[in-house]
Structure 1
Amino acid sequence: MSLALSASERAELVARHQAAIDGSLKTRLITTGIVAAMIALFIYALTTFELDLWRIIHGFSNLGTFVVLMLPPDPGSFARAIVFVKALFETIAIAFLGTILAAIFAFPLGFLAAKNVVANRVVHFLARRSMDTVRGVDALIWALIWVNVVGLGPFAGMLAIMTSDVGAFGKLYSEAIEAADRKPVEGVTSVGGSKLHEIRFGLIPQVLPVIASQVLYFIESNTRSSTIIGIVGAGGIGLYLAETIRTLEWQQASFVILLVLAAVSVIDLLSNKLRFAIIGKRAV
């Protein structure tokens, strides 16, 4: 049986669904407006930032000077190296604990912000806007706030990472939940399952691998972020990095940077193994 359409049938089909093919006038206007705004922003950035290719080329020569000053990496002494390594583990602990707590606290928020779970527009709106508000403040700003609230140290750093990531996790969770297949949920409903059963047996098994992958990535990313927030007194190795740069100890600074790079690489390797252990080899 041939499924090919004749020219007249094809023309009739296109004419019948012309509005869906072309899209509404409102959609076209919105799309055109967004593209025009992006182009205008790009042109504004080019003209305002005074981009200069020669300044970039000259900057590379200065960068080369700093690289020479950083070689070879040298902690200064064995005792100093031990201090740096201890601070690195503190940074990793800040990132790990802050990420895990944020993932736990954001879990219920993700369901509240998902349209296919909570139909109440008021609850959905409040959940979304609350996460937007928290996510709109950078982790470095949260670190400055928490340092003034609880004092200097890794506790403030952990709270900064946790607060910053709650909004991001909540948004990612809600998007994963909204993109979940409805068939398992409908299957649970058809056998008399309640709303909680739908979430427990229909939604969570689908989104859990996605959530686990996101949490593992954030642990790696937050290891870098914890280095930055340490500069403002939130604990970790960032304080020593700022100190070595301020005192022009470039070889010690390069040693600290290499420690952070090594830690991130190891965490990335471990997180990949854990991720594939959770989601299986089908993702390869």
Structure 2
Amino acid sequence: MTMQAEPDLAALKLRHPAVFGPPTASRLAKPGIGLAALALLIFGLIDLDFSPQRIWSGLGQLGWFTLLMIPPDPGSSLPTYLKAMGETLSIALLGTTLAALLALPFSFLAARNIVPTQLIRFPVRRFLDTIRGIDVLIWALVWINVVGLGPFAGVLAIAVSDCGAFGKLFSEAIETADRKQVEGVRAAGGNKLHEIRFGLLPQVLPVIAGQVLYFIESNTRSATIIGIVGAGGIGLQLAEQIRVLEWQKVSFLILMILVAVAAIDFISTRLRFAIIGKRAVT
């Protein structure tokens, strides 16, 4: 009987380093990144003058403001506040709808399975990244200077900002769609437009609808914020009452915003489940 030669373990480790363990640099990368993040956190706290003592002393002032807000009372301004809340909901709804309509054609141009050439897809994606990278509050300040104060500036701000976000989300949904339906339309003799209309759209429209419903809920809060800078709605009323120290009216406006957001969340959740259920049945 011949003895089988034992393999040279050192030579095997040298020949297949990935099998016997990651290299030293890879092992040190994770703790190094953790230490760097911790150092950055400490530097940020020091540079921004973070002070637990200031937070503790400010809690008393916060409690005093809370007492001044009780009980919530709109006074004689309830019709004005209801109208302002209607403006805020209209800004969110119209801005989101306009953004979705604008983003849909851009999303097809940014999808890899629709436009394979990088010559068209790359500038479209960078354009969407650019308008998405600017916050809606900045867009509100821009449009206020372009079209003036009021809800119209708020609608344009949300539409432009969300167009970039929708373009990215829609294009990702299009790229992850099942290719079997598209290939079936092609096998039946359909052209490129038929593939998009009958192969892709039935798959991605429920996803797009769910995303639009979520953004309507989110943009209700955004419409409140941009109203503070002059884009109309309940945010403008909130800023005015804070400025004149009418804390009971401030608390009433905050409660109105919370109730509106909760109602929109309830409705949008029901609609999303209905869309998902209908898609599952079909």
Which of 191, 195, 200 is the aligned partner of 1:203? 200
Task: Identify the match of residue 143 of structure 2 among 137, 141, 146.
Answer: 146
Shift of 1:48: 2.5
Change (3 A) 1:56 1:164: same
Q: Is the 8 A contact 2:206 2:279 kept in 1?
A: no
Give the 3 Å change call, closer, same or farther, for CA 246–111 of structure 1 in structure 2.
same
Q: Structure 1 pair 104/282, CA: closer, same or farther in 2 (3 Å)?
A: closer
TM-score normalised per structure 2: 0.84
> Hey, what does 2:66 align to over in structure 1?
67
In structure 1, C-alpha distance between the alignment counterparts of 2:111 and 2:18, rounded to whole Å: 30
How is 1:101-250 mapped onto 2 (pairs within 5 angstroms)? 101-250=98-247
SS in structure 1 at match of 2:134: coil
Answering whether residue 53 of structure 2 is matched by residue 54 of structure 1, we say: yes
Equivalent position of 2:4 in the other structure:
none
Mean Cα deviation higher: 62-71 or 239-248: 62-71
Say if 2:79 is the partner of 1:82: yes
Gaps of 5+ in 2: 1-15
For residues 129 and 28 of structure 1, what CA distance do their matches in structure 2 show?
36
Say if 1:18 and 1:122 are closer, same or farther in 2 by CA, change over 3 A: farther
Query: By how many angstroms is 1:40 displaced?
Result: 5.5
Contact 2:213–2:268 under 8 Å retained in 1: yes
CA-to-aligned-CA distance 1:85-130 (integer Å, 9 cap, x gap): 1110011001100100100110011111111111110211111110
> Aligned-pair RMSD on alpha carbons?
3.0
**Partner of 1:271: helix, strand, or coil?**
helix
- Where does residue 11 of structure 1 map in the other structure? none
Change (3 A) 1:128 1:148: same
Aligned counterparts of 2:179 and 2:97: Cα–Cα separation in 1:
28
Change (3 A) 1:29 1:116: farther
TM-score by length of 1: 0.84
- Structure label with greater radius of gyration: 2
